Structure 1
C-alpha cells in the first residue's frame, strides 16, 4: 500500500487553487466525521472531473443500457419496474440527488427518501425538486449509521457513488441495508468497487500514464492552475484518510457482500479504470464537441478497453434481489 506519493503533494496544491485555504484547513479537524463532511458540504464546487465529459456519459450509457442516449434511470424504469406501483425507495448517501430526482420524475407513483449528512447538498436538491414540482421525493440530513430506520420499510435501497463511502461493508449491509428492506426487496448500485483507498496496481498506473501520453499538452493544463498533468503517481493512503476518511474505505468488499446476501438480476461493469484518474482536473478541456478532442478521448477509451481485458472493472452497475433465505 502506498502511504504518500508525489500525487498527494500535487493534489494539495491543486485543491488550494480549486477550493481555497479554508477547505484545506478543514482537513486538520481531529473528528473524522467532520473531515468527511467538509469534502461534500459545499453547494457549489468548481472542479474538472471525468463525469462531466459528454462522451464519457455516452460510453456509460452504452455499456449499461446498450444505447448511448438511454440513461440507467430510464433503463431501470422501463426494463424492471415499469409496472410496479407504490414502490418505496431508500437512497443512502444521495448528495445533491440528481439521480434520485430523475427517478422521481420518471416514476411519479414511487416514493423516494434521500438520506445524506450534507444539509447543504440536500437543500440544493430540494430547491431543484421544488422547481420541478415533485411531490414524491423527500430529504433527511442525518448520520445514516446512527439513524433508526424502520425494519422492512423499503422495496429498494439505492446507491449512486455512495456505497463505497461506507466502512465494514458486510456489517453495513446487515445492520442497515437488509434490515430496511422488505423480504422481496432489491438493491440497485452504480458504484466504485475497486481497491480500497484507490490503491491501483502497477499495470493500471502504467495504462493511466499511457493514456496521458495520448493527450496533447494543451489539453493537460490542470483546472485553475498553471500546472500540466504529465504523469500520474497514484494516491497515497495517508492523504486519502486525512482528506476524506470515508473514501473507498472498504470498496473491495462491496461485490462479495452483495453476492453473499442477494441474487444477481443484472450486473454490468463499465470501467473507469483509466478515465477516473487520467481525466481528473483536465476534463474541462473535453466538454465541447471539437473533433480533435473527441478523437483524443476515443484513444483513451481504447486503452481502457484494452486494460479491462486483463483487469476487473472499477465501476459496476447492478440490480440485485434479496435471497429468500436471508429473512
Structure 2
C-alpha cells in the first residue's frame, strides 16, 4: 500500500526545521536528485533522537548478530570468517563517515580498505578519524557507484553499511557491477535495511507499531526538542520520502531476493527493527540513561518485536555471502 502523504510527514518536516534549520528544508527544493540526496548526509552536529542512539538497542543488535552484546560486528566478522585470511582488500560503497570501515581497518588482515561515497563532507570526517587512529591502510574517494571503474583493483570484500538501500536497480548492482569488482572467491557483506521500499510499511506493521507505542508511558513519548507527544504513528508518505532523499529505500524490497538469487549465504542474522525503528523515532533520547522503569519499557518493546518477528521477515539484516559459481 502506497501512502502519498501522512500526518507524520508534517510532523517530520516540523521536527527537521527545529533540528536542522530552515536552510536544510530549503535544500530539498533542488531538481538535481544527486544533490538533493547529498543534503541528507553532508551535515554535521545534527541533533536527532532515533533508535540507533540507544545503548541498549546497540547491545541488542550485537547480541543477535554476534551472540555477545559486547562484541562489535566488525570484530565478530574478522574473528569468525576472516581469521586466516591476510592481505585483504575491501571496497566499501556508500561509506558515510566510515566508522565501521575504520573498525575493520584496525585489524591487520586488511592491506587496503577503500571508502567511497558521494557525500564528500562525510568522507572528510572519516579521513580525519582514520588519521587520528594512525591508520594507513584505509583510503577515501568521492565516487558515484554508477561511475565505478570496474577495470581497477579486484576486491576480496565488497561492503555495504546502511548504504545498499540507497541504490536503485539492486539486482543489476549485485549481479553485474559487483561481479566485475569482486574476486570469484570474494565476499559480499551487508548491514542493511531490507524492508519495504520507500518505507511503505503494510497496515499490519503500522498497527503493531502503534500497539508498541502504547507500551511507552506518556512522559517518555515527548518528542525531541518539541512540546508535543508522540501518540500515534501513521508511517512516512511516499512524496516526502522522495523530496527528502530520492535515494532513500529506493529499491530496498529487492535487496534480499537479489542477493539470495546470485549469492550463497555464509552467515545471516535478522535483527528486526520492524517495530523499534518507528516506535522509538524522535523519542529515543529518553532511553539513553536508564533507570529501572525505562529499562522495563525497553525490555517490553524488545519482547514485543521478538514476538512480531516470529511471523514476519526482519527489516534489518547483517549478512555475509559468496557468489554462486554459476554466476
Alignment of 1:177 onto 2:178: yes
Structure 1 unaligned regions, length at least 5:
none
Q: How much is the aligned-residue C-alpha RMSD, in angstroms?
A: 1.2
Per-residue deviation, residues 226-266 of structure 1 (Å, max 9, x unmatched): 12111100111111011101111000110111111111111
TM, length-normalised to structure 2: 0.97
Deviation at 1:149, TM superposition (A): 3.4
Alignment of 1:214 onto 2:215: yes
- Judge conservation of contact 1:91–1:159 (CA < 8 Å) in 2: yes
**Counterparts in 2 of 1:200-239, with a 5 A limit?**
200-239=201-240
**Counterparts in 2 of 1:104-143, with a 5 A limit?**
104-107=105-108, 109-143=110-144
Alignment of 1:9 onto 2:2: no
Aligned equivalents of 1:29 and 1:175: distance in 2?
31
Aligned equivalents of 1:159 and 1:42: distance in 2?
21
Residue in 1 aligned with 2:281? 280
Per-residue deviation, residues 150-186 of structure 1 (Å, max 9, x unmatched): 3561010001110000011011223422211011111
- Judge conservation of contact 2:74–2:104 (CA < 8 Å) in 1: yes
Per-residue deviation, residues 101-121 of structure 1 (Å, max 9, x unmatched): 001113364310000111111
Residue in 2 aligned with 1:292? 293
TM, length-normalised to structure 1: 0.97
Secondary structure of the residue that 1:234 maps to in structure 2?
coil
Aligned equivalents of 2:153 and 2:42: distance in 1?
30
> How many equivalent pairs are there?
326
Deviation at 1:144, TM superposition (A): 1.9
Residue in 1 aligned with 2:163? 162
Which stretch shows the higher mean deviation, 188-197 or 221-230? Answer: 221-230
- Judge conservation of contact 1:184–1:324 (CA < 8 Å) in 2: no
Aligned equivalents of 1:121 and 1:26: distance in 2?
17
Residue in 2 aligned with 1:35? 36
Aligned equivalents of 1:91 and 1:29: distance in 2?
27
Aligned equivalents of 1:203 and 1:66: distance in 2?
30
